Structure 1
């Protein structure tokens, strides 16, 4: 068993609590479904947001999901690089898995597909 990092990102249209929480759930569910993992496989989840998203903590959405209450979560601000993608939520999910790095599926949704077009599905 290895610890692998699974990346994902999603954008929201507005800096409001419900869109941020809903997008976080959509992104995490996409990562979980694409990689066949369950909360018990997760070592931790690191969440970043761009500085223009301050209406809520995205980790609130994850804690409210069934089975995720014991998973260690950490939120932080993304590095504020000029011209970078706005209103973006990013996840780094550290998971215990037998998958190789090549088998891990990263998930990029909405406007965040532009971050890694090589990994984003159509």
Structure 2
């Protein structure tokens, strides 16, 4: 039976630079797609947040250029600014239509973001 599942992911960048942000966005999305065997037509939406120190571009720009992702609804927003939280971080919440159970979903945390949720990150 199909259900909507959330797939979490995050990655950090070294600097607030457009190319780094776009490259990191693609790296994270490609790894999530690989680990979960995702077809873009099964995506309901993608919610993307960035920390306040990342304002050089919209991460969604990178996703829109990927084949098959042009119709996927994307939304960018600022992460809640909590003192002492991880800096220069891009986070995803992908709403995915699937028959997989929650236990079968692979959440992906790369680079410095691995510290955020080691309990959810199975293969990254």
TM class, shorter-chain normalised? over 0.9
Match in the other structure for 2:104: 103
Q: Give the structure 2 partner of residue 40 of structure 1.
A: 41
SS of 1:95's partner is strand
State the partner residue of 1:64. Answer: 65
CA distance in 2, matches of 1:11, 1:84: 12
Gaps in structure 2 of 5+ consecutive residues = none
1:119 counterpart = 2:105? no
* Counterpart in the other structure of 2:9: 8
User: Which blocks of at least 5 consecutive residues in structure 1 are unaligned?
Assistant: none
TM-score (normalised: structure 1): 0.98
Q: Matches of residues 74-113 of structure 1 in structure 2 within 5 Å?
A: 74-113=75-114
**Rounded Cα–Cα distance in structure 1 between residues aligned with 2:111 and 2:60:** 19
CA distance in 1, matches of 2:118, 2:94: 19
Deviation per CA, 1:40-86, whole angstroms, max 9, x where unpaired? 01000000000000000000000011110000000000000000000
Q: What TM-score, normalized to structure 2?
A: 0.96
Large movers: runs of 4+ above 4 Å = none
1:119 positional shift? 2.5
How far residue 6 of structure 1 moved from its aligned partner, in angstroms, is 0.2
Q: What is the aligned residue count?
A: 122
Task: Tell me how far apart the structure 1 counterparts of residues 12 and 114 of structure 2 sit (CA, whole Å).
Answer: 9
RMSD: 0.8
